[in-house]
């Protein structure tokens, strides 16, 4: 498979190439992490390669199918874009897909549905999709494009091939000391969130003002703590490095609020990838932690 100028890690390239070249592409693919643009570009490239009718390495880039894919006018590639806000991708959008997915492709041997912002799918919408994902028509390919797999139901994940596009960018080249620093700070922020006023939180997040890398490293750790708090609330065992902080959060925040917090971290991570203004990001972080 040809990737052009899409820069993703070698393992993901290899796995996708093997699947495309052997004609055994999974029916449901999840692309998570990396920048929104990178996820969407790769989703479009996979759809183009799956529908390509040319010779040699896919996508050939020259056949009529590839030309239509490039111009965004291929009748067998559908892009459905959900909102960025949590749980804003509703079941009515999915009902249309479910009806359409059983109709034969127009001209290719396969039809691809690219679901952008799949992290915002409601549980109801995911359950509705599940019925097709479990036994998909053989010509259908679903590509979920999302900030993180963690907002998708386990039942959906277990039937999908998940590719992480951000692993190399997030924490990949942090020294153990820096990672430890990020973990400690994430834990401190979680405790500060339990305080009645904002002062402690502002004090903790001030550490990011002159340290962009620390912010990038801290967000995934903070997310792990939120996820742990959710696990604790549901009677499970925490797995992050800060079980006490998670325990404290679990006593003060409802499941709904913890889910929103996880989602807010994903939004902030996307903003970092889009190179948003750093000081503005810190302000947004503080407001998004006060749910």
Task: Using CB under 5 A, list all residues that contact Zn ion.
Answer: 52, 54, 59-60, 63, 66
Tell the smallest beta-carbon distance from residue 16 to Zn ion (Å).
16
Tell the smallest beta-carbon distance from residue 125 to Zn ion (Å).
32
Tell the smallest beta-carbon distance from residue 286 to Zn ion (Å).
49
**Measured distance CA(191)–CA(204) in Å, rounded:** 10
DSSP 142: E
Nearest residue to 148 via CA among 15, 20, 261: 261
Contacts (Cβ under 8 Å, ≥6 apart) of 28:
133, 136, 141, 142, 144, 156, 159, 160, 161
Compare residues 63 and 207 and give the one whose CB is closer to Zn ion. Answer: 63
**Measured distance CA(266)–CA(268) in Å, rounded:** 5
- Residue 123 token pair: 């549980």
Compare residues 8 and 51 and give the one whose CB is closer to Zn ion. Answer: 51
Compare residues 61 and 243 and give the one whose CB is closer to Zn ion. Answer: 61
Compare residues 56 and 196 and give the one whose CB is closer to Zn ion. Answer: 56
DSSP 2: -
Tell the smallest beta-carbon distance from residue 108 to Zn ion (Å).
10
Which residues does residue 111 pair with via DSSP β-bridges, in sequence order? Answer: 140
- Residue 99 token pair: 């009806």
Tell the smallest beta-carbon distance from residue 204 to Zn ion (Å).
52
- Residue 192 token pair: 């500060």
Compare residues 65 and 164 and give the one whose CB is closer to Zn ion. Answer: 65
Compare residues 62 and 95 and give the one whose CB is closer to Zn ion. Answer: 62
Compare residues 16 and 289 and give the one whose CB is closer to Zn ion. Answer: 16
Contacts (Cβ under 8 Å, ≥6 apart) of 40:
114, 116, 145
Which residues does residue 81 pair with via DSSP β-bridges, in sequence order? Answer: 116
Whose structure tokens read 């030309």? 67
**Measured distance CA(232)–CA(72) in Å, rounded:** 45
Tell the smallest beta-carbon distance from residue 165 to Zn ion (Å).
23
Tell the smallest beta-carbon distance from residue 53 to Zn ion (Å).
6
Q: How far apart are the first and last CA of the chain?
A: 44
């Amino acid at each position: 498979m040809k990737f052009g100028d899409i820069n993703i890690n070698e393992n993901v390239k290899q796995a996708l190439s093997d699947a495309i070249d052997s004609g055994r592409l999974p029916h449901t693919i999840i692309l998570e992490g990396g920048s929104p643009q990178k996820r969407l570009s790769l989703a479009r490239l996979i759809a183009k390669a799956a529908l390509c009718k040319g010779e040699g390495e896919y996508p050939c880039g020259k056949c009529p199918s590839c030309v239509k894919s490039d111009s965004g006018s291929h009748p067998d590639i559908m892009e459905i874009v959900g909102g960025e806000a949590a749980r804003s991708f509703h079941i009515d959008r999915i009902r249309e897909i479910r009806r359409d997915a059983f109709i034969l492709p127009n001209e290719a041997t396969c039809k691809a549905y690219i679901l952008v912002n799949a992290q915002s799918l409601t549980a109801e919408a995911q359950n509705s999709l599940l019925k097709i994902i479990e036994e998909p028509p053989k010509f259908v390919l679903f590509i979920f494009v999302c900030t993180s797999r963690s907002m998708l139901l386990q039942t959906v994940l277990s039937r999908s091939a998940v590719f992480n596009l951000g692993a190399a960018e997030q924490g990949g080249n942090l020294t153990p000391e820096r990672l430890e620093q990020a973990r400690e700070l994430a834990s401190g922020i979680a405790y500060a969130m339990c305080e009645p006023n904002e002062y402690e939180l502002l004090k903790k997040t001030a550490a990011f003002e002159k340290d962009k890398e620390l912010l990038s490293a801290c967000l995934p750790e903070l997310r792990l703590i939120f996820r742990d708090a959710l696990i604790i609330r549901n009677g499970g065992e925490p797995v992050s490095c800060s079980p006490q902080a998670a325990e404290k959060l679990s006593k003060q925040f409802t499941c709904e609020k913890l889910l929103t917090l996880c989602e807010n971290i994903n939004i902030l991570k996307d903003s970092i990838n889009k190179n948003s203004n750093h000081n503005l990001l810190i302000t947004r972080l503080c407001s998004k932690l006060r749910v």
